[in-house]
Amino acid sequence: MKTCNLCGVLRPLSEFCRNRTSKGGRHTTCKRCACARAKQWREKNLERAKETKRRWYARNRGQYLKKTRQYALDHPEQVKATKLRYRDRNRVRERVANLRRYHEHKTEYDARSRRFYANNKSKVLGWQRRYRQARPEVCRAATQRRRARKLSVREVFTAAMDLFLRKNWKNKCAVCGKRTKLTVDHWLPLSKGHALTMDNAVLLCGSCNSSKGAKLPEDRYKPKLVARIEKRIMLQIQQWELQEC
């Protein structure tokens, strides 16, 4: 047992780092206090700490990478958990870094992706199929945004909006009331420059969606039906705004 000279707590020797020059072969400061002191120093001397780390990495790159790979092979579960924790804490930062890296090496990344797809086509198709089955609302929202981009219309219709819309219309077609092959459709058509938003979204079955096509509502439906659906859309906007608040 040994007492830390900073916190004054009596701790086992395993709580102190080894030091050949110290009495007993251990540091006088426990690991917790040493880590806290080092963190405090780094925060006060951030640029100096980064430069020191860069110089050390340049000198020991090969040895560091070899140890890192070996540790990942020996402790796969710990490495996976650490990566997940980092992504949860730095989701936006990681996305920005990935996008920057992709644009800097776009040709290389695209060629690698094509090679992987050619060599693992069945595996990739299986991943895509399972993802679509697990997250259909995300895939629908992505498809709608892609269609809008092709027509130079900005859309931000999210998966949460998709779920709200289906629940709001009680999973029924707004025109005929069917419950099968339902899709979120533009009430005013995308081809005429109308984006998919809460004030322009309805739930239609495949048949009604196809028959409506790129027509304006008043060109396809009777005025009474158009008025009923548009009144429902106004209520839909209010309910969505209340939910967001």
Q: How confident is the model at residue 245 (pLDDT cuts 50, 70, 90)?
A: low
Q: How confident is the model at residue 80 (pLDDT cuts 50, 70, 90)?
A: very high
Position 234 in a domain: yes
- Please state the rounded mean pLDDT for residues 7-28: 87
Domain boundary among 18, 42, 64: 64
- Give the DSSP letter string of 81-92: HHHHHHHHHSHH
Q: Is 207 helix (H, G, I), strand (E, B) or coil?
A: helix
Position 82 in a domain: no
Does the pLDDT of residue 146 top 80, yes or no?
no
Residue 4, sorted as left (phi over 0), alpha (psi -120 to 50) or beta, turns out to be: beta
Compute how many other C-beta atoms are within 10 angstroms of the C-beta atom of residue 49: 14
Element (H, E) at 204: strand 201-205
Domain boundary among 40, 64, 88: 64
Position 77 in a domain: no
* Total number of domains constituting the chain: 2
Q: What is the pTM of this model?
A: 0.45
Does the pLDDT of residue 25 top 80, yes or no?
yes
Least confident of 58-72, 118-132, 137-151, 225-239: 137-151
pLDDT on residue 149: 72
Which residue, 187, 193, 196, is CA-closest to 225?
187
- The residue segments making up the domain with residue 53 are 2-64
Q: Name, in order, each residue with C-beta under 8 angstroms of 80's C-beta and a sequence gap of 6 or more.
A: none
pLDDT on residue 136: 87
Least confident of 72-81, 137-146, 214-223: 137-146
Position 110 in a domain: no
Structure confidence by residue, pLDDT tens digits, 97-144? 888 998 899 999 999 999 999 999 999 999 999 998 998 888 888 887
